[in-house]
Structure 1
Amino acid sequence: MSTAATIAPLSPQDAKSARRMSRRQGLFAPDLLKTALWQALIMLRPDRMWKNPVMFVVEVGTCLSIIYTVYKVIDPASTMAPVGYLLGLDFWLILTVLFANFAEALAEARGKAQADALRKTRQETPALRVRTADRGARGEDTEFLQSALRAPDSALEATVSTSLREGDLVVIAAGQFIPADGEIVAGVASVDESAITGESAPVVREAGGDRSGVTGGTRVLSDRVVVRVTAAAGKSFLDRMIALVEGAARQRTPNEIALSLVLSAFTLVFLIVVATLWPMAANSEAYMGDYLGAKDLKGLGTDIPTLVALLVCLIPTTIGALLAAIGIAGMDRALRANLIAKSGKAVEVAGDVDTLLLDKTGTITIGNRKATKFLPLGDLAATEVGHLAALSSAADETPEGKSIVELYRRLPGGTTISAAPPPGSRFISFTAQTRMSGVDLPDGRRIRKGSADAILKHVLAQGGTAPPLLQEQVNTHAGLGATPLLIAEDSRIVGLVVLEDILKPGIRERFERLRKMGIRTVMVTGDNPLTAASIAKQAGVDDYIAEATPEAKLAYIRKEQAGGRLVAMMGDGTNDAPALAQADLGVAMNSGTQAAKEAGNMVDLDSDPTKLIEVVEIGKQLLMTRGALTTFSIANDLAKYFAIVPALFAGTLPWLKALDFMHLASPTSAILSAVIFNAIIIPCLIPIALKGVTYRPVGADALLRRNLLVWGLGGVILPFAGIKLIDMILSGLGLA
């Protein structure tokens, strides 16, 4: 097939490198700074600024201040304020607006850099599509899919990824790139997903299970598969995320909207207060002028730039300037963790989750059961039981079978006798009907291993009997969360091998962290209640759902939600889709089925079941950052109030001098120092807004105390020190 007219996709190595480079970019990388500075100027347009009411008021006030200053430059005698002071105020008011725009623009630029790295993974690629005429009335039956899998390239239609439509079938061989998001409907293959996830280890994707999902831009390393396209060009999960991080489809979250309304209310109140100060100041000047006999008594209260400065310093400009950046940065952090959120709300909800549903296998436990001990049930030694178990597992390629052989070789003397059956042996494969496997040796011995009831039935059919205390041994280990397999030689049961699904290291400590955050953990498993209860106790989860069915999971989620709790869940199969759709936060595996990915509101590109804990931490960090900076912003208004208000009426109301405990050099220096501090604190807080405050797994009460102590008290003390320092610098430069 000719590919001359197509664009060659980025190699996995280059795509992986691009993603790493985007992650390593510092907050103030030169290319990001250049983009953000230009965007900050463009965002001065009123049609952009009005979406942020706080900063829109600052922009309007700055325009009024500039007009007033121009008028006073023409007629300097009409005001007591030096023209240099008025020009200085205008300059720093403009910078305040620009710094606010810069914070949002820098957050968007970082998101776009990450989006560009993702975009490189989905460039136009060649594809081999199954002809529509060939599908005919047969649809997609097994015979047809297998014939498509074996079809030569010449029998397929050559096309490109941008021409694919939802529902198309494409055939992908080893070395070729997957042209679009889809599901494998025939075949099994090893896939390199490093271009998407950044991980170099290949993964196995196959038809007919919960690991059938594939992503456009990844590469098939081995074998050949048929993929049904589930997302047309421009509508994939990566396309959605690119649009979100670039701001094209980003919508403000409910919490962000609510906070914006609160900030707008604060702004309106202070706007009314400051507006009424102008006539009060004018009347004070007239009254005190007559009282003191000074006809030309003037204060700063009637200067528009000064009143604008007072308004800007009293309204919550700091959080108003950083609010959008915090939200964008939260989504950016999720993307850097290889999480695709369908909306900003999904990231935010993660921080409010009360109940966490976690699948046992692969999340709480390692997932592959391992043999841990051999127990004789007759006159044989443990080593002899292990040898028979190893012989029966020699041809077993499952992780459980391999672990039995490995355990035998670790036993004393286990390496002196070969675990490999002699030539001429006949292996018996495991089937769902027999539920056992084994080997027939050339000397006539028949060795079997399998579930307790299957082996017992086999032995009884051979004329054997059950050993004493057999059922008690089986129940004891099952009650401890293990899986006992019996070993039989001919017509007698010689022992059992214990398989344990080992808990992941540190999982109990992680659940303890979640508990400190006020989150309940619930284990979901298909095990019987006895085994489930044992594993739940070992792992330290708060509750469990045993013998879980889709209906049971759905019912549990609804019960939790009826109690006013927010529920998070992770899943990858079609049977998880109802629960993912019902959960407040549904995280679907990228390797899972299309139904699961559509039902959830977040997709994990790494397909890592333990990622749900990181999702919660990212959401918590977003809310902690917003709360911390809101507390700081409101607290630092107090210091600016004591700096500006005494200076505002110093010329007409001398008794207000009692409030001037900061002892600033002059009224103009006090006001200018407060405005300068208000402006420069915004870029100083940008790194915190983008990186987030340090995450600590603590409860709501402890978090509130920390916010009040660190950000509240700090928000009061820092402005006093900062304004005094700026005033001293202005005085030293002779500008006070």
Structure 2
Amino acid sequence: MIADYRKRFWVSLAATLPILALSPMIQAWLGLEAALDFPGDRFVLAGLASLVYFYGGWPFLAGLWRELRAAAPGMMTLIAVAITAAYAYSVGMVVIGSEATFFWELATLIAIMLLGHWIEMKSVMGAGKALEKLASLMPDTTHLLAEDGSVRDVAVADLSGGDRLLIKPGEKVPADAVIVRGQSSLNESMLTGESKPVNKGPDDTVIGGSINGEGALTVSVAHTGDDTFLSSVIRLVEEAQASKSKTQDLANTAARWLTVIALGGGAATVAFWALLTGQGFGFAMERAVTVMVIACPHALGLAVPLVVARSTAIAATNGLLIRDRTAFEAARRTQAIVFDKTGTLTLGQFGITDTLVFDMTYGERDIVAYAAAIETQSEHPIAKGIVAGTDAAWAVDDFRAIPGKGAQGVVQGRQVKVVSPGYVRDAGHQIDDLRFEALSAAGKTVVFVLIDGALAGAIALADMVRPEAAQAIADLQAMGIRCIMMTGDNAQVARWVAREIGLDEVIAEVLPQEKAAKVQEIQARGLVVAMTGDGVNDAPALAQADVGIAVGAGTDVAIETADIVLVRSNPNDVAAILHLARATYGKMIQNLAWATGYNAFAIPAAAGVFFPWGLILSPALGAVFMSASTVICAVNAQLLKLRKRPSAPVEGSADARPVGAQRPAAGSSS
């Protein structure tokens, strides 16, 4: 369609130049009546104008027919009526031998309307370019590994699940897959908005469309075609852009009324100037044509769709996927947000929060290093948390598990035990340190380290709070949103997490089947509630909430139930999507205010209200103003931006630890 409008514009412009030269009014202005006058010039003028009317004006005439068949007169109706009235009147004047024609106004009007539509459509397409960029992420060919180890290039479209591929450094990943061999960093910025490359190795998943970094990878294809993550993103964006917007309903209603006002105003303008002022039918007709052209509700009709296209594209390219457009618009009114704890505000991984030293022969680093040497033999989540707390690589000899109580072994020539508080008490050791009582009261898990039979120290662990959680909560509270955590965990742990990140309210020890009812209770306070979660047990609550937000690392059930999906498990994205919802609505209102305010002023001006002061708008100038109004709305939509979000620290890095906790590092024994 853009190419069609461009072609019609250039043909119409080429015909408009001789039309201007042959128009009596233009000749009079330039003093060239004698030079350009020849027999039959009026018929040549009418012929060229007919070319412009039927060829250049065809999109508007066809649009008139479509709108009338749909019983929904609008912009195309106004333009078609305006150019048809001008053309019919001018042809009639030629037939009766009069030179009072509108041919040059008609030609310039159509040329400018075509140019305006061409520019407007390019602006509209610009808002949706993200989909083209997403689609272009997938390569056309890839390297298929045969069973004998040979490699051949095949079309990505021919891949099937289980195929093994070789992805060389710098190449795009052709499909969702699992790494079989190799390690590398992958750039997923176009899909997730995360600029930092993500390090991945065997058994990690890679997303089709991401860019491989420095290492060669062998991967096994998991999803192809429409089942890939990228395809689902494109599908969600298309659905969101096509879905009905409540704000668009308001704009459509206003556009319908504007059409009625313009048609009625055009008729009233003719009657007023021709019958009541004696200005003549030609002058009256020119005013009526200008009224209908300048009143075209193009800007009003595009005010909302342009913003919708822009916001969904921004969201998709930053890992924020909108599944329900209506819910996204409702998100701007969010007054309270309910977070699930594990996996959303926390990593679901244990990390060291405190280290207690009872025997001053050792330092905190030593206590952790001895314990980590023992725990390297265990797969328990607490053991993994201790091991992650040090970079020591001390070997352990004579390792043995203490069933239900811990483990023991020989480290650095010393007998070391890492055990539970129950084992310590059973062994007759006194635990009279008030710090232990405080840590237990906070709901933290505490393990004790015995070295050569003596109580040397203790290590407290807790589910690791996401480093970005505190900032996300602060941002949401700055937006006037009440932040609530709902968890099945015990009240002590929940209150500790709440203190660490500054939550407004905690609802703890909630059974999975009770979560939806708890959301309903919050709604009963008169609050518009958003719910964020990632597990199967969050799905009913996500559905109950006014806005359901699933983190992409969650289950398929949670994602299918939610209105918005966050690709990254980053609480900052929750604040980002709510901020984008508010900014999107603001842009919609700005565009609607401009479009309606513009017409409120322009229609009277086109009708000739300012004629006594010498201000008259021609149809061509009216077309310029109408197109300019739409371009302003398009530019304003393009100014919509996503507030810059902090990058998520890599899980397991030095930043991904309990808030306020000091990470111990191994040191040598005293």
Q: Same fold (TM over 0.5)?
A: yes
Matched, 1:170 2:142: no
State how far apart, in whole Å, the 2-side matches of 1:371 and 1:603 are. Answer: 31
Q: 1:523–1:258: structure 2 CA closer, same or farther, 3 Å change rule?
A: same
Q: 1:76 to 1:214 in 2, by over 3 A?
A: farther
Write out per-residue CA displacement over residues 430-462 of structure 1, whole angstroms, 9 at most, x where no aligned residue: x9x63634533586633215xxxxx22212443
Cα offset for 1:270?
Answer: 1.1
Q: Structure 1 pair 600/536, CA: closer, same or farther in 2 (3 Å)?
A: same
Q: Using the alignment, how far apart are the partners of 1:111 and 1:531 within structure 2?
A: 43
CA contact (8 A) 1:488 1:494 kept: yes
CA 1:608–1:312 in 2, change beyond 3 Å: closer, same or farther? Answer: same
Letter in 2 for 1:114: K
Aligned to 2:234: 242
Please point out which of 253, 257, 261 is paired with 1:262.
253
Find the counterpart in structure 1 of residue 307 from structure 2: 326
1:310–1:357 Cα change, 3 Å: same
Task: State the secondary structure of the residue aligned to 1:277.
Answer: helix
CA drift of 1:629 comes to 1.0
- Which of 393, 401, 423 is the aligned partner of 1:458? 423
Specify the alignment match of 2:49 in structure 1: none
| 1:467 aligns to 2:431 (yes or no) | yes
Corresponding residue for 1:392?
371
Determine which of 379, 399, 410 is the counterpart of 1:440: 410
Instruction: Give SS of 1:678's match.
Output: helix
Q: Structure 2: how far apart are the matches of 1:43 and 1:607?
A: 48
Q: Confirm or deny: 8 A CA contact 2:209 2:230 kept in the other structure.
A: no
The aligned amino acid for 1:302 is A
| Residue 333 of structure 1, CA deviation | 0.6
Deviations 1:460-496 (A, max 9, x none): 443x13322x4x5334234557554333346554432
User: Is 1:117 aligned to 2:130, yes or no?
Assistant: no
AA of the residue aligned to 1:200: P
Q: Structure 1 residue aligned with 2:398, among 403, 412, 426?
A: 426
What's 1:667 paired with? 616
Which residue of the partner structure matches residue 401 of structure 1?
386
2:591 is matched with 629
Task: Tell me the residue number matched to 1:732.
Answer: none
Question: Do the aligned partners of residues 57 and 514 (structure 1) sit closer, same or farther apart at CA in structure 2, a change above 3 Å counting?
Answer: farther
Cα offsets for 1:226-259 (capped at 9, x unmatched) = 8765xx63344432443565x6995232324422
State how far apart, in whole Å, the 2-side matches of 1:573 and 1:78 are.
Answer: 79
1:374–1:497 contact (8 Å) kept in structure 2: yes
Q: Which runs of 5+ in 2 are unaligned?
A: 10-55, 377-382, 646-670
- When residues 357 and 672 of structure 1 are mapped into structure 2, their CA distance, relative to the original with a 3 A threshold, is same
1:481–1:530 CA contact under 8 A, matched in 2:
yes
Matched residues in 1 for 2:550 and 2:341: separation?
Answer: 16
Structure 2 SS opposite 1:625: helix
In 2, are the aligned partners of 1:330 and 1:347 still within 8 Å (CA)?
A: no
User: What SS does structure 2 have at the residue aligned with 1:170?
Assistant: coil
Give the Å deviation of 1:539: 1.8
Letter in 1 for 2:372: S
Q: Distance in 2 between matches of 1:541 and 1:201?
A: 30
Which residue of structure 2 lines up, in the alignment, with residue 194 of structure 1?
A: 187
1:689 aligns with one of 621, 633, 637: 637
Q: After TM superposition, give the deviation of residue 375 of structure 1 in Å.
A: 2.6
1:329–1:216: structure 2 CA closer, same or farther, 3 Å change rule? Answer: same
Distance, in Å, in 2 between the alignment partners of 1:48 and 1:512 is: 55
2:121 is matched with which residue?
101
Query: Is the 2:335–2:480 Cα contact (8 Å) retained in structure 1?
Result: yes
Give the percent of matched residue pairs that are identical in Structure 1 and Structure 2.
19
| Matched-pair contact (CA < 8 Å) for 2:294–2:625 | no
Letter in 1 for 2:438: T
- Give SS of 1:234's match: helix
Aligned to 1:335: 316
What SS does the aligned partner of 2:226 have?
coil
Contact preservation (8 Å) 1:37, 1:102? no
Task: For residue 358 of structure 1, report the CA deviation from its aligned partner.
Answer: 3.1
Superposed displacement of residue 332, structure 1: 0.9
Is the 2:145–2:166 Cα contact (8 Å) retained in structure 1?
Answer: no
Name the Cα RMSD after superposition. Answer: 4.8
Q: Which residue of 2 aligns with 1:17?
A: none
Spell out, residue by residue over 1:359-418, the C-alpha distance to the aligned partner (whole angstroms, 9 max, x if none): 4456545776554543345xx228446523421213545663246446xxxxxxxxxxxx
Deviation track 1:316-348 (CA, whole Å, cap 9, x = no partner) reads: 432323432221111111122133444544644
Amino acid at match of 1:690: Q
Cα distance in 1 between the residues matched to 2:557 and 2:478: 34
> Any idea what SS the aligned residue of 1:394 has?
helix
Alignment of 1:196-215 (within 5 A): 196-197=191-192, 200-203=197-200, 215=207
Q: Does structure 2 conserve the Cα–Cα contact (< 8 Å) formed by 1:96 and 1:679?
A: yes
Residue 558 of structure 1: how far off its partner (Å) = 3.7
Contact 1:121 1:217 in 2 (8 A): yes
Select 1:302's aligned residue among 255, 277, 284. Answer: 284
Query: What number of residue pairs does the alignment pair up?
Result: 576
Alpha-carbon distance change, 508 to 115 in structure 1, aligned in 2, over 3 angstroms = closer
The aligned residue for residue 533 of structure 1 is 495
Structure 2 counterpart of 1:273, from 260, 264, 269: 264
1:233 correspondence with 2:225: yes
Gaps of 5+ in 1: 1-31, 129-151, 207-211, 290-296, 407-418, 450-454, 651-656, 658-662, 698-736
Q: Offset of 1:306 from its aligned partner?
A: 2.8
Tell me the distance in 1 between the aligned counterparts of 2:400 and 2:271: 98
Q: Which position in structure 1 is the counterpart of 2:457?
A: 495
CA contact (8 A) 2:552 2:559 kept: yes
Cα distance change of structure 1 residues 65 and 482 upon mapping to structure 2, 3 Å threshold: farther
8 A Cα contact 1:524 1:544, kept in partner: yes
Contact preservation (8 Å) 1:338, 1:604: yes
Superposed CA deviations along residues 575-598 of structure 1, whole A, max 9, x for unmatched, are: 444444444544444454443443
Change (3 A) 1:80 1:37: closer
Shift of 1:88: 4.0
In the alignment, residue 133 of structure 2 is paired with which amino acid? Answer: Q
The AA in structure 2 aligned to 1:277 is A
CA distance in 2, matches of 1:599, 1:248: 16
